[in-house]
Each structure stands twice: as C-alpha cells, then as structure tokens.
Amino acid sequence: MAKNDQKTAEEVLNDEIHTQADGNQNIDFRHQLAHQSVKNWAQWATVAGFIPVPLVDTAAITGLQIKMISDLCKIYKVEFKKELVASIITSLAGASIATMFSTTLGSTFARYIPVVGTTISAITQPALSYASTYAIGVTFVKHFENKGSLIDFDVTSTKGFFNEQIAKAKKIFQKKNTGSEEAVVVDAVVVDAA
C-alpha cells in the first residue's frame, strides 16, 4: 500500500461506524479505540520506566502521557492544548500523592543505592509508569465520554476515580506478568456513565 493510500485512525473509525447496521450492533468503536490507545501508551510508559536516569524517565513518561491525551482528543474531537494537558497531568499526580508517593519516592531514592537500588527501581518504576499512564488515560476517556473538554476538566471531582484506576492498573500490570491479563482488563475499562 502506498504511503498516500494509508488511512488515519479517525478515517478507519468513521468507515467502521458507517458500515455498521443501524442499531443492530451497539458497539461504540470510539470507546474501543480510546481504550486500545490507553493500553498501548501505558505499555510504552512501562518501557520508559526502565530509563535509568532520574528526571529523564519522568520527562519521557510525561511526554508519552501528553501524546496519549492528544490521541484521545482526536478520537473524541476535543480541542487539544498541550499546556493545559500538562497542567492537568501534574494536578492529577498531585491529587493522588498519597496513592503514588511512597512508591515513587522509594523508587527515586533507591536508584542512588549501588546495585540494590538500581534493581529496586527497575522493578517499581515500570509498574508505576504503567499504572499512572493507564489511570490518566481512563480518567480522560470517562471525562470525554461524558461530553467533557480540557477546559472543564475538574481534578477534584475525578480524584476518587483516578485513584481507583491506579489500583486497578497496578493489578493489571501484575496480572500481565502472570499471563492472565484479559480478565482483569475487561473489568478495569468499565467506565461509569455518571
């Protein structure tokens, strides 16, 4: 297929929506595409979590999270503003400081302990990277599916949901390592309509 013949994700999505029988299949392809995107970016964040240089890994993970939200904005046709997204990500991380603080702090300081520290960090940082990216993504999916935009995103009202998603994402990450991912992922991507 020539480069010019390749379709964008949005074009594929529109084609799929228009080829569905009217009302016969109640499938929200946008929802499926969004959750697949979240899962993919969370996996890339796991890889970024292995970067052994403090602050470089954080910058890489944050960049991946911003790109993920950019993709979600395209899927839900929401105007993307990089500075606003970066601010929301920082606020979400701050709002869940109790959930992530001990793991992040331990992982960061552990890096400075020769040999043992690097090993501890290599185990905890990828899991935390996956969990935070996944939780941010699912939180944005829920917000966008409720007709929200970046401007009306309320960190305070999403704090509880975000913390629940962190906990679910940690379980998903653990299950991935044991090979039983699918049963947990289905449970984790259920989005409340409220």
As a residue count, the chain comes to: 194
Instruction: Tell me the C-alpha distance between 141 and 147, whole Å.
Output: 10
Instruction: Tell me the C-alpha distance between 4 and 144, whole Å.
Output: 31
Q: Report the chain's terminal Cα–Cα distance, integer Å.
A: 43
> What pTM does this model have?
0.70
Ranking 46-50, 84-88, 116-120, 168-172 by mean pLDDT, the lowest is: 116-120
pLDDT one-digit tens code per residue, 51-108? 877 788 889 999 999 999 999 999 999 999 999 999 999 988 876 655 554 444 455 5
Which residue, 92, 91, 81, 89, is CA-closest to 61?
Answer: 89
